[in-house]
Amino acid sequence: MSLSIAVTLDLATCFALRHQVFVVEQDVPVEEEQDALDASATHLLAVLDGAPVGTARIVFKDGTAKIGRVCVLQSARGTGLGAKLIEAAVETARQQPGIAKAKLGAQLHAIGFYEKLGFTAFGPVYDDAGIDHRDMVRDFT
């Protein structure tokens, strides 16, 4: 098994993965899945045995790295790849000057997953594209 997770400029592949997970599986409206932030975001791509299987994006703003659009194809879930993808996003964020924390909006079922990776939930539950979420943060100090 060969896994690589790296910053990528291959947005078409990232968008295809996101479409499969968010639009096809989770019924997120296609017009909400991509947004203007994609153009300035840092994108990560996870490749397992030569096939793209996961992605995430990071938007840097005001000392915070906002990790989002995190997805793993169904065939690669339960393998630990999701945790490795988040850790790669956190490490990428840590390397940026002036970034002191990572933030993300977690689907409620995934809060425990992110807590195991050092994130803490805060604030109320909110709807994002028809799915309940809660904000989470991980300080780098």
Contact, 15 vs 54, CB < 8 A? no
Range of the domain at 32: 3-139
Residue 44 sits in a domain of what CATH number?
Answer: 3.40.630.30
Q: Average pLDDT by consecutive 10-residue portion of the chain (141 residues)?
A: 94 98 93 94 97 98 96 94 96 96 96 97 94 96 77
pTM confidence score: 0.94
- Calculate the CA 57 to chain-centre distance: 6
**Predicted pLDDT at 139:** 96
**Predicted pLDDT at 10:** 97
DSSP string, 24-93: IIT---HHHHS-GGGGTSEEEEEEETTEEEEEEEEEEETTEEEEEEEEE-GGGTTSSHHHHHHHHHHHHH
**Predicted pLDDT at 59:** 98
- In degrees, to the nearest 5, what angle opens at C-alpha 116 toward C-alphas 115 and 121? 5
Domain count, the chain: 1
**Predicted pLDDT at 1:** 76
**Predicted pLDDT at 99:** 97
**Predicted pLDDT at 141:** 77
Q: What is residue 23's three-state secondary structure?
A: helix
